Amino acid sequence: MLKKERFRRFIDYFTTNFPDPVTELHFGNPYELLVAVILSAQCTDKRINQITPALFARFPEPESLAAASPDEIFTYIRSVSYPNNKAKHLAGMARLLMSDFGGEVPGTVEELQRLPGVGRKTAHVILSIIFNQPTMAVDTHVFRVSHRLGLAPLTATTPLAVERALMAHIPKQYVPKAHHWLILHGRYVCTARAPKCPECALREGCKYYEKLMYNVQCTMNNV
């Protein structure tokens, strides 16, 4: 199957079956999403959603977070991965948000990446969800699923290379949704250790599934 056909099938399936995907992180405004995404690095959305209600109750806006010490912030996020670093990032992010952006979450990659704890992936998540910009955040799920489905070549060995491969073939109007499609598919169907190929609607034409079936056939022929 040609790459163009793989992308067409991918987009057709998800626009038909999951036309309006959303992030599983709970948030009420851009500030809360920014905090949640910073915390979600190498941590599950489920865990983040468990700790953010108390965190946002104590720090409901950038001003209160900017006035807090990393030690105090740590007490609210101690159960997430790398809590010491993330506490420092949140404190620094809030202070810069107040001093340089008037407490408003900025709307460009360059401005967002000035904030502590915000890399390219986090910036793209914010731009996609809050500003509906055609940015593709490549996390571990997007990276894995893109390669398995054959949307990204095996030579795309970095998140940036995968991002470029996806952006080259996904129409701009679908990019914000495609980010969620790939994440959710990787989280619930195309899982890392035990992908649920039998129930996957995209298995026809999937490079991973083709290889799996080829190996099964080879094993059967050798018996």
Active-site entry in 86, 88, 121, 177:
121
Catalytic site includes residue 196: no
Helices 70-77 and 45-58 pack at an angle, to 10 degrees, of 130
Q: Which residues of 1-28 are buried (b: 16+ CB within 10 A; e: fewer)?
A: eeeeebbebbbeebeeeeeebebebebe
Q: In whole angstroms, give the CA distance from residue 64 to residue 61.
A: 6
Instruction: Confirm whether residue 190 is marked as ligand binding.
Output: yes
Catalytic, 121? Answer yes
206 is in an annotated binding site: yes
Burial class of residue 155 in the structure, from the number of CB atoms within 10 Å of its CB (0-12 exposed, 13-18 middle, 19+ buried) = exposed
Q: E strands of 127-188, at which residues?
A: none
Catalytic residue among 12, 139, 196, 207: 139
As a whole number of angstroms, the distance between CA 42 and CA 36 comes to 12
| d(C-alpha 223, C-alpha 43), whole Å | 43
> Is residue 218 a known part of a binding site?
no
What positions carry a catalytic annotation?
A: 121, 139
Binding site: which residues?
190, 197, 200, 206
Binding site for [4Fe-4S] cluster: which residues?
190, 197, 200, 206
